[in-house]
Amino acid sequence: MLRLGTRQSPLAMAQAHEARSRLCAAHGWDENAVELVPVRASGDKIVDVPLADIGGKALWTKELDAWLGEGHIDLAVHSMKDVETIRPPELTIAAILPRADVRDVLIGASSIAGIPQGARVGTSAPRRAAQMLSRRPDCEIVMFRGNVALRLAKLAAGEADVTLLAAAGLERLGRTGTGTPLEVEEWLPAPAQGAIGVECRTNDAKTRALVAAIDHAPSHTAIMAERALLAALGGNCHSPIAVLSMLCGDRMTLQSVLYSADGAERVEGSLTFDVGDTGGPARLAGDLLARANTAISVHFGGAQGAVP
């Protein structure tokens, strides 16, 4: 039996069920061949302050990392958006499942332009806050954290007028049809948004081989390119960055926008390169940073991590 570690939130459990189903289908196993092991992450325990102020994205992964490293579980499932860019060498992302919808969903208004003047936008993500203020500087950002149900409850209770959630998360929770998806042409997503990753111990060749059977190569390629861009930028939880990858045959295009925290400044760029060109993301990062003013660059070049 394989032991699959997961956070306890409803969305994390839905992602773990998907990973287990795919793994069992790939190998012709009964689902009881993979035991789900829920772990309560630090990030789920503290919901009233921004993650960037209390340890960043490691709060989503450190308990699972420890259990995996100590052998209490054989593999762990993650939302790749929540995984630090630099991982411990003893752990390896062995599979990326087929990527879901990368878009953000606006809840509480039918469009960005349709948000009432001076509305309160509930989000704890620097990217979403900066993007909104760039488009709607009249809006006020109010801190919103917690799982999907909690954030929707906060919205219903009037703590904000609108909020933003990932379309992939809503879909996995059976909440398709909630809100208005924002097309990527006007609103770029976070790095690795919509992707589920499965991580194993690097030295566990048997488990890595089993998990490789559910790896979706195009999604894996896209996610690793977006993470490579984030790493080259030195992005962290304070970094307002949006990115979109597009695969066409053996060529990839990365499109990215970096913002100042207040959304008043932005720098954008794109680069197309061969899929095997591992230096492509770093070249785009270099171009963006070379053109970024201080209000933007102050949020990059520091400790590397995942960006919400």
Q: Class for domain 104-181, per CATH?
A: alpha beta
Same CATH topology for 2-98+195-215 and 104-181: the answer is yes
Q: How far is residue 264's CA from residue 68's CA, in Å, rounded to a whole number?
A: 42
77-125 residue pLDDT tens: 999 998 988 899 999 999 999 999 999 999 999 999 999 999 999 999 9
Categorize the per-residue pLDDT at 236 as very low, low, confident or very high, splitting at 50, 70 and 90: confident
Provide the pLDDT confidence category of residue 60 given band limits of 50, 70 and 90: low
Q: Above 60 in pLDDT, residue 304?
A: no
**Residue 213 one-letter amino acid:** A
Hunting for tokens 């190569």 — which residue is that?
Answer: 217
CATH code for 228-297?
3.30.160.40
Q: Which of 28-37, 54-63, 201-210, 273-282 has the lowest mean pLDDT?
A: 54-63
Residue among 74, 82, 101, 204 flagged as catalytic: 82
* Percent above pLDDT 70 for the chain: 91
Query: What pLDDT is recorded for position 237?
Result: 79
Q: pLDDT grade, residue 302 (50/70/90)?
A: low
Neighbouring-strand partners of residue 255: 244, 270
Topology, domain 2-98+195-215:
D-Maltodextrin-Binding Protein; domain 2 (3.40.190)
Q: What is the mean pLDDT of residues 42-67?
A: 61
Q: Does residue 238 surpass a pLDDT of 70?
A: yes
Annotated active-site residue 161? The verdict is no
pLDDT band at residue 305 using 50, 70 and 90 as cut-offs:
very low
pTM of this structure: 0.90
HSE on the CB side for 64, CA within 13 Å? 38
Please give the pLDDT value at position 62.
Answer: 82
Q: What tokens were used for 136?
A: 């709607």
Mean pLDDT of 58-84: 89
Instruction: Calculate mean pLDDT across residues 49-71.
Output: 70
Kindly list the domain boundaries of the chain, sorted by start residue: 2-98+195-215, 104-181, 228-297
Residue 16, classified by CB atoms within 10 Å of its CB into exposed (0-12), middle (13-18) or buried (19+), is buried
pLDDT band at 136 (very low <50, low <70, confident <90, very high): very high
Amino acid letter for position 234:
G
**Mean pLDDT along residues 33-57:** 64
